[in-house]
Amino acid sequence: MGFTMNCLHPEAQFLAVYPPVSITSVVVFEVTVNTCAQKIGGPRWIGDQFNGSSIEYSGGPLYLADVTFVNCRFKFGDDRQSKQAMEAITASKGKPVTITIE
């Protein structure tokens, strides 16, 4: 049931959520994201794939369930949560990642 999103401008965010919507109430399910930028903290990412994208995370709630990163660039913070997330992604070696950080 998913879809594919192709960004023409690599700095464009695929998903941006602004108040009054709570970012932690957003679920992204089975979406393929190509060459977009994305801040992954907050939403629940389930069965998604990022290809050639710029992925950002600087701590806070993170929920990844079977999420794949292929040829992505990562801009993660120096905080403990960011390091934990980057370690899980690196250890996956291109296979789907599942991690929850509260």
pLDDT at 46: 97
Domain count, the chain: 1
- Output Rg (C-alpha) for the chain, integer angstroms: 12
Note whether residue 63 is domain-resident: yes
Residue 82 resides in a domain = yes
pLDDT in tens, 18-61: 666 677 788 999 999 999 999 999 999 999 999 999 999 999 99
In a domain, 96, yes or no: yes
pLDDT tens figures, 61-89: 999 999 999 999 999 999 999 999 999 99
- Work out the angle at residue 55's Cα, subtended by the Cα atoms of residues 71 and 81, and round it to the nearest 5 degrees: 120
- Domain assignment of residue 19, yes or no: no
- How far apart, in whole angstroms, are the C-alpha atoms of residue 23 and residue 15? 10
**Within 13 A of 97's CA, how many CA atoms are on the CB side?**
26
- What is the extent of the structural domain holding 63? 3-14+24-101
Model pLDDT, residue 18: 67
pLDDT score for 5: 86
pLDDT top residue among 102 and 13: 102
The SS3 of residue 45 is strand
Q: Is 58 inside a domain boundary?
A: yes
The β-bridge relationship of strands 97-101 and 62-70 is antiparallel
Element housing 88 (H / E): helix 80-92
